[in-house]
Amino acid sequence: MKKIPQQKELKDLLGPSKFSGDGYLGTDPRIPESIIEEDRHIIEQSGFTKEQLTESLKDALKKAVDALGDPVDILPGVTAVHYESRGKIPSPYRGDGLFQKGEVVIFDSKSGKKIIVTPLGINLIEKHNFFQGRGSRYRIEPEDIIVIFNLQK
Amino acid sequence: MEQLMVNILIATGFLAGMGLLLSALLVIAEKSILNFGPCTIDINNSEKILKVKGGGSLLSILARESIFIPSACGGRGSCAYCKVIVKNGGGPVSPVEEPYLSDEERKRNTRLSCQVKVRNDISIEIPREYFSVRKYRGKLISKRPLTHDIFELRIELLEPREITFTAGQYIQLKSKEYKGRESVIRAYSMSSVPSDKNHVELIIRRVPDGICTTWIFDYLEEGQNVGLSGPYGEFKLQPTDSPILFIAGGSGMAPIWSMLRDMREKGIKRKAHYFFGALTQKDLFFLDELRQLERELPDFKFIPSLSREPENSNWTGERGIITDVVKKYIPDTSGYEAYLCGSPGMIDACIKALTSTGMPVEKIYYDKFA
């Protein structure tokens, strides 16, 4: 099926650029709209809201950044470490502004799950419902957030 | 059938001809209608006046006049590094610029120079340092690891052969394309001493998945040519006699290392403490060189502190996060000046700690590009 121009544009925006060498789509064969729609469906099925998920990410990010590179315990068995990086990165969605570089690696020793959280990554979820494509270093599976942060209904 | 072919050929020829005619009209229109003629760019209240041909972006026209405003995105309006103050003649703020300008910046008429079109006379303000920014071609003559994730680069300048800078300033390094990744520009503080005008030294930490640092760590080899521009930045030692607190971590060593060696060369004997935060001993570097500086600078003390060093290791120095160690050594910082280089989180934590022990916030200096 021929793609409509808007689809092409969004796919171009989220592809490799001067600021993200690998882009935001990873190796995911789906178009961005499908990634967004399927993740939205997964969250809906889980009984949680996107806001609950992003709050957990924001809280962990802040605790790790405040620890200045020291590993910090978020929950029993869940550790977060901030890796600093100087400079800022613009959002691939024009108009969202600049975000501090650096990443927080969160590891859950119980489930063995690991996610990488960035200020830009949180913005993409919060504002555009975009958890990034599978195969992207910064893709976060919505279910992983629920498991790692032991979210309860 | 023959007549049909003739008709098709005539129609095709007609369409091609119309296309060419329209293209020619567009070129003529661009040259006549969009010809903004000669324009004047008044910089810093007539400190410099440029007579230029209007029509291009302020960023590109200034670059043609050898005034290089920092930029990382090549004028696409996405990095927001190329901010200047446009006092008049810049036209309205474009939707592209809006998300990158704070209220404070709007009040000061700050604009993204890549988005401002020079279509008439225009008055701007830029830091004076930009007048001395040059583009350089250099050759990497040394690349050595300092820790498991930090390298030191030493670049010999080929054209022009000399750079004049102040300890604490930074350059912009241009990476080359590799594995389908675009060439990019990133800022790095210089760690070399200003007296070594023929070389630029950099201390660079690998950024996971970073476009430029992956190129530096995995692709850039000794002997290769590199492109850079500089110097940029206002982070520099202030001309006072106040005692100094240097605080850094990781590659934040770079500008402090330059300042300290510059102090030694110039015989500056101000009292100075240098607090350097790291996780473990494997994250420390330049220990011998800094101990040597302690012997050469009469009132200088280097205090590294490790926050994750195993309890049973042979480390006998300070332990804990750097802000706690600073408080332990200098409980009253009111008479001091502080120079910080590190992550924004570290800088924020230091500002909080220093102001809580009496240091006026205006006496705290740090890298603006962090």
Q: How many whole angstroms separate alpha carbon A6 and alpha carbon A109?
A: 41
Q: Which CATH superfamily is domain B38-130 in?
A: Beta-grasp domain (3.10.20.30)
Q: For residue A99, what are the contacts with CB-CB under 8 A and spacing of at least 6?
A: A88, A89, A90, A91, A118, A119, A120, A123
Q: Write the ipTM.
A: 0.75
Amino acid identity, residue A18? K
Start-end of CATH 2.40.30.10 domains in chain B = 134-232
Contact B249 A68 (CB under 8 A): yes
User: pTM for the whole thing?
Assistant: 0.82
CATH fold of B134-232 reads: Elongation Factor Tu (Ef-tu); domain 3 (2.40.30)
List alpha helices for A47-117, DSSP H.
50-66
Cβ-contact B228, B184 below 8 angstroms: no
Cβ-contact B174, B183 below 8 angstroms: yes
Question: For residue B96, what is the nearest residue in chain A, using CA coordinates?
Answer: A95
* pLDDT tens digits, one per residue of A25-79: 999 999 999 999 999 999 999 999 999 999 999 999 999 998 888 899 999 999 9
Contact A19 B342 (CB under 8 A): no
The backbone torsions φ and ψ at residue B94, rounded to the nearest 5 degrees and listed phi first, read -85, 160
Q: Where are the domains of chain A?
A: 5-148
Start-end of CATH 3.40.50.80 domains in chain B = 244-366
Partner B, chain A 24-43, Cβ-Cβ below 8 Å: none
Identity of the residue in A21, A66, A86 whose CB atom sits nearest the CB atom of B181: A21
* The token pair that represents B47 in the structure block: 């400190």
A7 pLDDT exceeds 70? Answer: no
What sign does the CA torsion over A91, A96, A98, A99 have? negative
Chain B residues with at least one Cβ partner in A under 8 Å: 72-74, 76-80, 95-96, 98-100, 180-182, 184, 186-187, 205, 207-211, 214, 249-251, 277, 279, 307-308, 321-322, 342-346, 349, 367, 369-370
Query: What element of type H or E holds A98?
Result: strand A98-100
Cβ-contact A74, A149 below 8 angstroms: yes
**What single DSSP character describes residue B216?**
I
Identity of the residue in A71, A86, A90 whose CB atom sits nearest the CB atom of B343: A86
- Tens digit of pLDDT per residue, chain B (370 long)? 677 777 777 777 777 777 777 777 766 665 555 567 899 999 999 999 999 999 889 999 999 999 999 888 778 787 888 999 999 999 999 888 888 888 899 999 999 999 999 999 999 999 998 999 999 999 999 999 999 999 999 999 999 999 999 999 999 999 999 988 888 888 999 999 999 999 999 999 998 888 899 999 999 999 999 999 999 998 999 999 999 999 999 999 999 999 999 999 999 999 999 999 999 999 999 999 999 999 999 899 999 999 999 999 999 999 999 999 999 999 999 999 999 998 888 898 999 999 999 999 999 999 755 4
- For domain B244-366, is the CATH number 3.40.50.80? yes
Phi-psi region of B77 (alpha: psi -120 to 50; beta: other; left: phi over 0): left
Q: How many whole angstroms separate alpha carbon B362 and alpha carbon B238?
A: 12
* Three-state secondary structure call for residue B80: coil
**What single DSSP character describes residue B207?**
P
Cβ-contact A60, A80 below 8 angstroms: yes
